[in-house]
Amino acid sequence: MSADTFHVVVVGAGASGTLAAARLLDAAADAGLRTVVDLVDPAPTTGRGLAYATPDPRHLLNVPAGRMSALPDTGDDFVRWLSGREGRRVDPGEYVPRTLFGSYLADALDRSAAACHGIGVLRRRHDRVVAIDRLTRTGHRLAGDTDVGVRLRLRTGGTLDADAAVLALGNLAPGTAWLPAGLADSPGFVADPWRPGALADVPADRDVLLVGTGLTMCDMARTLARPGRTVHAVSRHGLLPQAHARGAPTAPADTTRHPPPVPEPHDLARLKRRIRHRAAFYRRLYGDWRPAIDELRPDIPLLWQQLSVPDRDRFLTAELREWEVHRHRLPPATDRALTAARRAGLLTVQAAEVVAAQRNNDSREVAVRLSDGRSVTVGAVLNCTGTESRVKELTDPLVRNLLGSGVATPGPHGLGFDTTPEGRLMSAAGHDAAPVWTLGQLRRGNLWETTAIAEIRAQARELASRILESAVTPTLV
């Protein structure tokens, strides 16, 4: 921290952290404010995080390229970048490999850094933040003291003092509540299939079991299904994500032509009725229910906040999976490949839970008993259940530190951290005390719809302008 330079540390260099850093640099340039942005992540790459690190070209974006711009207002930025790189006119309706999007984000950040002309400086640090302490004017925490910044402790032992911090921790560990005894420490168990190199030890000639039937499972099945191996996929409901409509997306045009009623549902029953009604309406008009889900998207935070606590609980326990399979859809090519794999008997999808598992120390195989009475013997079990959003369940040192010190407190329903509408952390005492902001997955409890690029890029811009505002209005920090 120095008197003439504003200093922000962004924790996490996945999509959220990269977009936050880019928007902070843009905002610094606009304000003419000398700013240093430290972007901290142990990962060797920038912009990839969990979703865009996969090198497998069969792992596609589940959103058409035309809707994946890094900037809220420049819808075709990604398509233009991609067309330049590929040397062809990329169609905005294409579903392209996710690895390309990771490269684009890194490039978008470089462009913002270059456009700053030295007013904003980007520093990339390969480290992990393990704790954040509040800094006060006196150096001690006294009643009535105002925070003037934060001190971030790094895994390698150093510290960074900053005027503000942004938590872009994204997809934390996958949930493990379903794990039977003995499976977690089995060599055949893959706790996080997105960890680089996670599939390296999956035996090529053995069947595999994928637990979870969402988008992660679909990608893993595409990678692993092959003649001579059966991929078994199970989840409590056995529901697969629906596919996107083939051809150009219809939703934006349709919704402007048929504006949905102002979001009047205040309870879950009314909300479900309205979705069914709108789905029937769009089906009659276009033979497609999907716009009924897509048109809700900008209003989801409001609809979520309006629901009563028991209704939100009901949604989380009884309706979640049904919602997810309609909201988070498969690219058509992935859908076709999975259908073909199922027809060929290379992939099975069942509604079942894992009841017990026993490892065979000689063969390294795992015998898994399922709740539908079947048993499968597999070379690997992959945890495809998706990331854990209930922060109290997480063992991540930084999350534990923030909850333990009261700098952060769980969001509604224990999901993510509680934040102000601008994304600043609420402390356990109920104030936005520390100059720490967050975006993406960690805002789940407040907003529900917060993990896709459309939401993340808007949040990145909002928090960047708030943080820079706080720099020129010093009473805020």
Ligand X SMILES: Cc1cc2nc3c(=O)[nH]c(=O)nc-3n(C[C@H](O)[C@H](O)[C@H](O)COP(=O)(O)OP(=O)(O)OC[C@H]3O[C@@H](n4cnc5c(N)ncnc54)[C@H](O)[C@@H]3O)c2cc1C
Chain residues in the site for ligand X (CB under 6 A)? 11-17, 40-43, 49-51, 61-63, 128-129, 168-171, 215-216, 398, 440-441, 451-453
Query: Among residues 51 and 82, whose Cβ is nearest to ligand X?
Result: 51
Q: Is 382 exposed, middle or buried (0-12, 13-18, 19+ CB in 10 A)?
A: buried
Query: Among residues 176 and 377, whose Cβ is nearest to ligand X?
Result: 176
Q: Which two structure tokens, joined as six digits, stand for 21? A: 């850093």
CB of 395 to ligand X, least distance (A): 12
Strand, coil or helix: what is 67? helix
CB contact at 8 A, 387 and 51 = no
Query: Among residues 39 and 271, whose Cβ is nearest to ligand X?
Result: 39
Query: Among residues 52 and 304, whose Cβ is nearest to ligand X?
Result: 52
CA distance 403 to 203: 40
Query: Among residues 168 and 275, whose Cβ is nearest to ligand X?
Result: 168
Query: Among residues 96 and 370, whose Cβ is nearest to ligand X?
Result: 96
Which one, of 96, 14, 103, lies nearest residue 59 by Cα?
96
Element (H, E) at 467: helix 453-472
Query: 354-359 and 366-370: which strand pairing?
Result: antiparallel
Element (H, E) at 153: strand 147-154
CB of 65 to ligand X, least distance (A): 10
Angle between the 15-31 and 453-472 helix axes, to the nearest 10 degrees? 40
Which one, of 139, 167, 149, lies nearest residue 39 by Cα?
167
CB of 300 to ligand X, least distance (A): 14
CA distance 139 to 133: 11
CB of 145 to ligand X, least distance (A): 26
Which one, of 7, 3, 43, lies nearest residue 159 by Cα?
7
- Residue type for position 383: N
Query: Among residues 48 and 229, whose Cβ is nearest to ligand X?
Result: 48
Query: Among residues 45 and 186, whose Cβ is nearest to ligand X?
Result: 45
Residue of minimal CB distance from ligand X? 170
CB of 118 to ligand X, least distance (A): 26
Query: Among residues 26 and 41, whose Cβ is nearest to ligand X?
Result: 41
CB of 262 to ligand X, least distance (A): 26
CB contact at 8 A, 163 and 8 = yes
For the chain, helix, strand, coil in percent to 5 are 35, 20, 45
- Phi, psi torsion values for 109, nearest 5 degrees: -70, -45
CB contact at 8 A, 377 and 365 = yes
CA distance 339 to 331: 12
Query: Among residues 10 and 271, whose Cβ is nearest to ligand X?
Result: 10
CB contact at 8 A, 205 and 228 = yes
CB of 169 to ligand X, least distance (A): 4
The count of residues in the chain is 477
CB of 369 to ligand X, least distance (A): 29
Find where tokens 């997105």 sit: 194
CB of 127 to ligand X, least distance (A): 7
Question: What letter would DSSP give residue 331?
Answer: P
Query: Among residues 29 and 399, whose Cβ is nearest to ligand X?
Result: 399
Cα four-point dihedral sign 430, 431, 436, 442 = positive
CB of 164 to ligand X, least distance (A): 16
CB of 7 to ligand X, least distance (A): 17
